[in-house]
């Protein structure tokens, strides 16, 4: 009877709400309690066995969701019992290694936070304003459970300082020993003999499956070395050298894969850097002849690529810093013969231009040294002596002054594609800009951009940059340049960024078309077609050159064709050949082939892209550092973020995919003409590409001579 009654009025409904009277509930509890004491062998003075038995019953006999459901209704359990258990664990966690790691990772995530920001983040994460009297802040709690705290700043720093970052040398002591006190510079450097095996071991541990090996030589690391000015704001000159490894494939373009080996407050071609490079060279020569034991594996190193800008490369090759006539480190081309339409580059005597040979470099350097010794004994001003030196070099049709700092390694250097790409985009844009101004035939009274009639090609060009071509920064620079100079003589100087180049190559047809007028003369129409042709070649070149992986021999063959087209078009249809255009025409395809034959990689593996973004990272590491200890801290921060934390699983791979598309989607999915311009329904080609001029341009280029009326050019 009693059992039936209870079945008819159970202690709770199916949802878990108690819905019987308080009296009945308390009676039922007493009964359960007594029964539990009896069953589990407890007494009124020792209830522990009953509690243990009841909890055991709860855990074993009830499904988890009904426990969650019923227990979450009990404030005593939720806000008193569990927090007491949990808070003890939080305390343990806060002193654990896990929390140390977590805190260090927070401090170093995407650049260094700095003391004040870190402290403020710590506070925001786990504290709140207190309502209690005399207390400003109290711990943030959820159901009385404390939110765990990050490590306090001082403890964090103590942890960071205890991390062994390997041997670091002092630039001031080791490379400035004989300088006057005020000329000494601050800086740090690493020894490759120590650092390379360390990095090899690191990569073998953290990303072995992602390492590429070349020509079946497993465990041979291909080291990439280069240096550059690293700007820290306007007032400080700085120079940094970085290493990376070709074995990391396309990741080499990430700043996280480029590691500092030298950083100092000096210019990139100073005596300090000269001394450092000599040290580097001696290390490199020794390392290549050795085998290293790394985690029980035999490892070798070879110095493969030297991504440097042209100025740094000239410095490393011992060449004149400014050699106007012989402008290339890679070939004996000069301004007098760089526009030979059908000229070729290669090592043989039949080629128009050949690479500089190492023994020629050394022979020339010796002659220069002899002359310098002779001049030292003679009277005369410094300027006139210098002139004698430079005229000797130019008389010998050379640009060589010293023995290359990098020794024979200089022969391994390949052209870096990032700067030629941006420079070429800039130069082509400049031609389009000047054409637009010429066509606009502006009155002399027009001295401000606002006065330019909106129908003028110049105004339409700027408008197109601003709106449709997605180049608003460029539009702004053009307006400012016009307002400052009225386009009367001084060149439009603006360095294209990677983003500018990408947008320009995506949208050049829109930019070119903005210049079109119904009343265009034949010559003006022809010019637009030349622009369209050249820009399209450049886009195709860049789309191949910007790859590190996924490249085939046929891509390199195509590249050679596009490069030759671009060069010939510039020779035949434009007034001059710039060193950039010459290098794209001849050095880029030759070096792309060499690099492909060596590693089956694209030329972008020599790119400075990762290095340029590393400069920004160095800038971030340097914030919150004081001047004297700056480089030490930068080296330490870099190591902790890129090596130490990464070994412990805190690492985000950078997404680099988006940077590699130079061909717009509308072209790849066939919505537009191949050049990127709009097409009508049922049309294969736009009205530029199907124009008779385009056909004439193509034929002229194929034959390497003009097949069009000279009046058009
Ligand atoms: Zn087209």
The arithmetic mean of pLDDT across residues 485-497, rounded, is 90
**Cα distances (Å, whole numbers) of residue 112 to 98, 123, 637:** 20, 18, 7
Q: At what angle do helices 498-513 and 522-545 cross, to 10 degrees?
A: 150
Maximum average pLDDT range among 263-267, 558-562, 657-661:
558-562
- Ligand 1 mean position, distance from CA 670 (Å): 12
Q: Mind listing the pLDDT tens digit for each residue in 171-189?
A: 999 999 999 999 999 999 9
- Ligand 1 mean position, distance from CA 442 (Å): 30
Q: Say whether pLDDT at 233 is over 80.
A: no
The arithmetic mean of pLDDT across residues 54-81, rounded, is 93
**pLDDT at residue 3, as a whole number:** 76
- Ligand 1 mean position, distance from CA 683 (Å): 10
- Ligand 1 mean position, distance from CA 525 (Å): 15
pLDDT band of residue 8 (cuts 50, 70, 90) is confident
- Ligand 1 mean position, distance from CA 689 (Å): 4
**pLDDT at residue 208, as a whole number:** 76
- Ligand 1 mean position, distance from CA 512 (Å): 12
pLDDT band of residue 362 (cuts 50, 70, 90) is very high
- Ligand 1 mean position, distance from CA 693 (Å): 12
Strand partners, 139: 127
**pLDDT at residue 626, as a whole number:** 72
306 or 207, higher pLDDT: 306
Q: Mind listing the pLDDT tens digit for each residue in 287-302?
A: 999 999 998 999 999 9
DSSP 93-140: HHTSHHHHHHHHHHHHTTS---HHHHHHHHHHHHEEE--STT-SEEE-
Which residue's structure tokens are 């130019």? 394
- Ligand 1 mean position, distance from CA 108 (Å): 48
**pLDDT at residue 620, as a whole number:** 82
Note the maximum CA span of the chain: 130
- Ligand 1 mean position, distance from CA 440 (Å): 25
The arithmetic mean of pLDDT across residues 591-603, rounded, is 97
- Ligand 1 mean position, distance from CA 531 (Å): 12
**pLDDT at residue 660, as a whole number:** 63
**pLDDT at residue 111, as a whole number:** 76
pLDDT band of residue 618 (cuts 50, 70, 90) is confident
- Ligand 1 mean position, distance from CA 530 (Å): 12
- Ligand 1 mean position, distance from CA 523 (Å): 19
The arithmetic mean of pLDDT across residues 484-512, rounded, is 93
Confidence (pTM): 0.89
Strand partners, 240: 228, 263
Determine contact, residues 711/523, Cβ cutoff 8 Å: yes
- Ligand 1 mean position, distance from CA 586 (Å): 26
**Cα distances (Å, whole numbers) of residue 394 to 138, 309, 322, 389:** 76, 23, 12, 9
**pLDDT at residue 234, as a whole number:** 61
The arithmetic mean of pLDDT across residues 443-464, rounded, is 95
- Ligand 1 mean position, distance from CA 522 (Å): 19
Which among 438, 655, 424, 651 is positioned nearest to 542, based on CA atoms? 424
Question: What whole-number distance in Å separates Cα of residue 271 and Cα of residue 266?
Answer: 9
- Ligand 1 mean position, distance from CA 538 (Å): 14
Which among 541, 547, 544, 576 is positioned nearest to 425, based on CA atoms? 541
Strand partners, 305: 224
Q: Say whether pLDDT at 232 is over 90.
A: no
Mean model confidence pLDDT for the chain: 93
Strand partners, 12: 18
Q: Say whether pLDDT at 624 is over 80.
A: no
**pLDDT at residue 651, as a whole number:** 79
7 or 522, higher pLDDT: 522
- Ligand 1 mean position, distance from CA 676 (Å): 6
**pLDDT at residue 140, as a whole number:** 94
Which residue's structure tokens are 């710590």? 122
- Ligand 1 mean position, distance from CA 98 (Å): 59
- Ligand 1 mean position, distance from CA 497 (Å): 26
- Ligand 1 mean position, distance from CA 698 (Å): 13
Which residue's structure tokens are 């504290």? 127
**pLDDT at residue 426, as a whole number:** 97
Which residue's structure tokens are 């080296």? 635
Task: Give the strand pairing for 220-229 and 297-305.
Answer: parallel
Q: Say whether pLDDT at 190 is over 80.
A: yes
pLDDT band of residue 659 (cuts 50, 70, 90) is low
- Ligand 1 mean position, distance from CA 477 (Å): 28
489 or 594, higher pLDDT: 594
**pLDDT at residue 658, as a whole number:** 56
**pLDDT at residue 655, as a whole number:** 66
- Ligand 1 mean position, distance from CA 668 (Å): 13
Q: Mind listing the pLDDT tens digit for each residue in 234-279?
A: 667 899 999 999 999 989 999 999 999 999 999 999 999 999 999 9
- Ligand 1 mean position, distance from CA 519 (Å): 21
Q: Say whether pLDDT at 431 is over 80.
A: yes
Q: Beta-carbon neighbour count of residue 499 at 10 Å?
A: 12
- Ligand 1 mean position, distance from CA 708 (Å): 20
Q: Say whether pLDDT at 1 is over 60.
A: no
Q: Say whether pLDDT at 88 is over 70.
A: yes
- Ligand 1 mean position, distance from CA 677 (Å): 5
Backbone angles phi, psi at 516, to 5 degrees: -70, 135
pLDDT band of residue 229 (cuts 50, 70, 90) is confident
pLDDT band of residue 489 (cuts 50, 70, 90) is confident
Min mean pLDDT across 46-60, 225-239, 673-687, 699-713 is at 225-239
Min mean pLDDT across 97-101, 129-133, 690-694 is at 129-133
Share of the chain above pLDDT 90, in %: 82
pLDDT band of residue 564 (cuts 50, 70, 90) is very high
Which residue's structure tokens are 């130490």? 644
CB-based burial label for 360 (10 Å; 0-12, 13-18, 19+): middle
Maximum average pLDDT range among 148-152, 485-489, 611-615:
148-152
Which among 576, 584, 572 is positioned nearest to 704, based on CA atoms? 572
Question: What whole-number distance in Å separates Cα of residue 60 and Cα of residue 40?
Answer: 15
Min mean pLDDT across 21-25, 49-53, 623-627 is at 623-627
């Amino acid at each position: 009877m009693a059992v039936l009654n209870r079945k008819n009025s159970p202690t709770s409904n199916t949802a878990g709400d108690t819905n019987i009277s308080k009296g009945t509930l308390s009676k039922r509890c007493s009964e359960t309690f007594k029964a539990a004491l009896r069953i589990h062998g407890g007494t009124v003075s020792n209830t522990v066995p009953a509690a243990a038995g009841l909890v055991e019953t709860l855990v074993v006999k009830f499904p988890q969701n009904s426990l969650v459901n019923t227990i979450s209704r009990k404030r005593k359990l939720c806000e008193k019992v569990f927090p007491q258990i949990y808070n003890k664990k939080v305390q343990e966690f806060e002193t654990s290694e896990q929390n140390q790691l977590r805190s260090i990772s927070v401090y170093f995530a995407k650049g260094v936070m700095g003391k004040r920001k870190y402290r403020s983040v710590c506070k925001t994460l786990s504290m709140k304003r207190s309502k209690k009297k005399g207390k400003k802040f109290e711990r943030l709690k959820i159901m009385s459970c404390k939110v765990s705290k990050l490590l306090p700043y001082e403890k964090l720093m103590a942890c960071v300082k205890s991390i062994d970052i390997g041997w670091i040398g002092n630039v001031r002591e080791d490379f400035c020993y004989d300088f006057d006190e005020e000329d000494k510079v601050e800086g740090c450097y690493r020894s490759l003999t120590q650092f390379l095996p360390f990095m090899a071991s690191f990569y073998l541990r953290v990303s072995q499956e992602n390492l590429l090996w070349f020509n079946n030589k497993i465990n041979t690391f291909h080291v990439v070395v280069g240096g550059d000015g690293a700007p820290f704001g306007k007032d400080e000159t700085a120079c940094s050298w970085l290493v990376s490894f070709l074995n990391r494939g396309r990741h080499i373009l990430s700043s996280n894969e480029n590691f500092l080996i030298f950083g100092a407050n000096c210019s990139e071609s100073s005596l300090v850097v000269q001394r450092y490079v000599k040290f580097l060279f001696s290390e490199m020569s020794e390392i290549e002849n050795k085998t290293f034991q790394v985690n029980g594996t035999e490892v070798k190193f070879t110095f493969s690529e030297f991504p440097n800008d042209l100025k740094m490369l000239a410095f490393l090759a011992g060449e004149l810093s400014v050699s106007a006539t012989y402008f290339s480190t890679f070939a004996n081309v000069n301004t007098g013969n760089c526009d030979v339409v059908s000229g070729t580059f290669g090592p043989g005597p039949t080629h128009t231009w050949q690479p500089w040979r190492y023994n020629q470099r050394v022979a020339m350097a010796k002659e220069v040294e002899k002359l310098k010794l002779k001049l030292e004994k003679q009277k005369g001003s410094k300027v006139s002596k210098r002139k004698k030196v430079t005229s000797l070099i130019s008389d010998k049709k050379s640009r060589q002054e010293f023995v290359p700092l990098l020794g024979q390694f200089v022969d391994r250097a390949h052209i870096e594609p990032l700067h030629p790409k941006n420079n070429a985009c800039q130069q082509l844009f400049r031609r389009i800009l000047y054409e637009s101004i010429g066509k606009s035939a502006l009155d002399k009274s027009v001295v401000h951009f606002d006065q330019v009639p909106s129908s003028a090609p110049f105004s339409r060009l700027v408008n197109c940059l601003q709106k449709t071509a997605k180049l608003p920064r460029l539009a702004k620079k053009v307006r400012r340049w016009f307002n400052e100079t009225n386009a009367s003589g001084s060149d439009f100087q603006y360095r294209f960024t990677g983003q500018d180049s990408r947008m320009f190559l995506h949208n050049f047809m829109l930019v070119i078309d903005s210049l079109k007028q119904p009343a265009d003369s034949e010559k003006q129409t022809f010019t637009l077609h030349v622009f369209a042709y050249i820009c399209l070649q450049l886009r195709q070149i860049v789309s191949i050159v910007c790859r590190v992986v996924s490249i085939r021999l046929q891509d390199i063959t195509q590249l050679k064709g596009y490069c030759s087209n671009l060069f010939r078009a510039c020779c035949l249809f434009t007034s001059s050949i710039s060193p950039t255009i010459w290098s794209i025409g001849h050095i880029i395809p030759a070096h792309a082939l060499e690099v492909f034959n060596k590693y089956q990689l694209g030329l972008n593996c020599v790119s400075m892209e990762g290095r340029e973004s590393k400069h920004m990272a160095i800038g971030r590491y340097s914030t919150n550092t004081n001047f004297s200890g700056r480089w030490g801290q930068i080296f330490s921060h870099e190591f902790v973020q890129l090596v130490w934390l990464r070994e412990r699983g805190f690492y985000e791979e950078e997404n680099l995919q988006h940077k590699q598309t130079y061909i717009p989607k509308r072209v790849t999915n066939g919505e537009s003409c191949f050049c990127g311009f709009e097409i009508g329904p049922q049309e294969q080609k736009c009205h530029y590409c199907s124009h008779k001029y385009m056909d004439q341009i193509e034929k002229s280029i194929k034959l390497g001579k003009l097949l069009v009326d000279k009046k058009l050019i």
